[in-house]
Amino acid sequence: MKKLINSPEDVVREALEGMELAHPNHLRVSYEPFYIVRKDAPVKGKVALVSGGGSGHEPMHGGFVGMGMLSAACPGHVFTSPTPDQMFEAGKVVSGGAGILQIVKNYTGDVMNFELAAEMLKEEGIAVETVMTDDDVAVEDSLYTAGRRGVGLTILMEKILGAAAEKGMPLKDIKALGDKIRKSGRSMGMALTACTVPHAGKPSFELAENEMEVGIGIHGEPGRRRVPMAPADQITEMLMEPVLTDLPFNKGDTIILFVNGMGGTPLIELYIVYRKAAAIAEKHGLKIARCLVGSYITSLEMAGASVTALRVDDQMLQLWDAPVNTPALRWGV
């Protein structure tokens, strides 16, 4: 295992220290327990957005803390859901009297830990709502399983709901908007290489030079199937077709198209993927109103990419365009 780290135990704390030093205008960090809150928290009279999950997905979520996006992010150990006390303590710090919205990716661990935190916060008299993301079409959806994973859509949801909160939208409405976004976005990802959890010290799976994993999540787990390597255009089709047909997206729909790198993929390759993804979307008669290309929700140093499409209306687009000022996403300010 070759990493720019000191020891597996210290990865999360030291990265948080680096973030705090690098972004003093955006955020403050607590180390016991771990959480990141926006510099000006609590913002009086506005809904506070709290998200979190395992570490190793940077910039998600800590990089999205700041004006117009998250009020707090709670990082667990690498690929491990955070514990309830993190969301409880962070929630108390960011609560501005208008309630808390938790944005939770659908993983058994995340769901249960955020549920516990919500109960604890409610006992403190704080109103809490939760929206989930479960946009990964690689996983079959069924009442009898854990359901689909939350992946790329999470970033788009955090941006849009963050803008809504900043505008003063009440908790109930933000929750409803979140549920709508949940139902309007789909994603799928693939990997060229595995990644190595620092504590494990070895890659979570082995891939031959001519193989790739399609249908991966964001935790270094193998995908739904292992298939032979293919050119970028073909890979992009393997991701886009299931995404577009699942919802389904319909001719004439307006979308935000998001091509995401898994952490070890250079930007030049993401643009090659975006080129094809945009062409496929257009072929389906979709109008790409906005896009995002970059490594925003990652699996450590995994090489690979994911695509996310979100059907948007005017309100969502306006909120997408609204000012945001975080370490990883910034415009309008």
Partner 1 sequence: MSEFSVSKAVAWIKAASAALEKEETRLSDLDAAIGDGDHGANMRRGFVAVVKKLDAAESADLGALYKTVGMTLLSTVGGASGPLYGGFFLELGKRSMGRPAWDAAAMVDALKGGLADIQKRGKAELGDKTMVDALSPALDAMAGAGGDLAAATKAAAAAARDAATKTAPLLARKGRASYLGERSIGHEDPGANSLALLLETLSTTCEA
Catalytic residues: 57, 219
Q: Is 7 in the site for its own copies (CB under 8 A)?
A: yes
Q: Given candidates 96, 205, 275, 318, which one binds partner 1 under the rule CB under 8 A?
A: 205
What does each C-alpha distance from 92 to 24, 40, 69, 215, 242 come to in angstroms? 21, 14, 18, 37, 41
Q: Is 227 in the site for partner 1 (CB under 8 A)?
A: no
* Residue in the structure block whose two tokens are 């139902």: 183
Tokens of 117: 């935190």
What does each C-alpha distance from 224 to 137, 190, 202, 229, 304 come to in angstroms? 11, 9, 21, 15, 14
Question: Could you tell me how many residues of this chain bind its own copies (CB under 8 A)?
Answer: 57
Q: Given candidates 51, 55, 80, 193, which one binds Mg ion under the rule CB under 5 A?
A: 80
Q: Is 81 in the site for ligand ADP (CB under 6 A)?
A: yes
Footprint (CB under 8 A) of partner 1, residues 89-118: 107-109, 112-113, 115-116
Residue 43 sits at φ, ψ, to 5 deg, of: -90, 110
Residue 248, CB half-sphere, CA atoms under 13 Å: how many?
A: 9
Taking CA 108 as the corner, what is the angle to CA 263 and CA 142, rounded to the nearest 5 degrees? 100
Identify whether 228 is preceded by a cis peptide bond (ω within 30 of 0): no
Please identify, using beta-carbon distances, which residue of 89 and 253 lies nearer to partner 1: 89
CB of residue 277 to ligand ADP, shortest distance in Å: 30
Q: Output the DSSP codes for 120-170.
A: HHHHTT--EEEEEE--BTTSPP-TTS--PPP-THHHHHHHHHHHHHHTT--
Residue 136, CB half-sphere, CA atoms under 13 Å: how many?
A: 25
Contact partner, 232, from Mg ion, its own copies, ligand ADP, none, Cβ < 5-8 Å per class = its own copies
Q: Given candidates 65, 72, 121, 139, which one binds partner 1 under the rule CB under 8 A?
A: 139
Binding segment for its own copies (CB under 8 A), chosen from 46-54, 81-89, 164-172, 274-282, is 274-282
In Å, the largest CA–CA distance within the chain is 56
Binding segment for its own copies (CB under 8 A), chosen from 41-49, 94-102, 133-141, 225-233, is 225-233
CB of residue 5 to ligand ADP, shortest distance in Å: 20
Contacting residues for 146 by C-beta, under 8 A, at least 6 apart: 106, 107, 108
Q: Report the residue number whose CB is nearest to Mg ion.
A: 80
Is residue 11 within 8 A of residue 311, CB to CB? The reply is no
CB of residue 160 to its own copies, shortest distance in Å: 19
Contact partner, 83, from Mg ion, its own copies, partner 1, none, Cβ < 5-8 Å per class = partner 1
CB of residue 302 to partner 1, shortest distance in Å: 12
Q: Is 109 in the site for ligand ADP (CB under 6 A)?
A: yes
Sign of the CA dihedral running 233, 238, 241, 247? negative
Q: Is 232 in the site for its own copies (CB under 8 A)?
A: yes
The residue ranges that bind its own copies (CB under 8 A) are: 1-7, 11, 14-19, 21-22, 55-56, 58-59, 63, 192-193, 209, 212, 229, 231-233, 235, 263-275, 278, 291, 293, 295, 298, 300-301, 303-305, 330-333
The residue ranges that bind ligand ADP (CB under 6 A) are: 80-81, 108-109
The residue ranges that bind Mg ion (CB under 5 A) are: 79-80
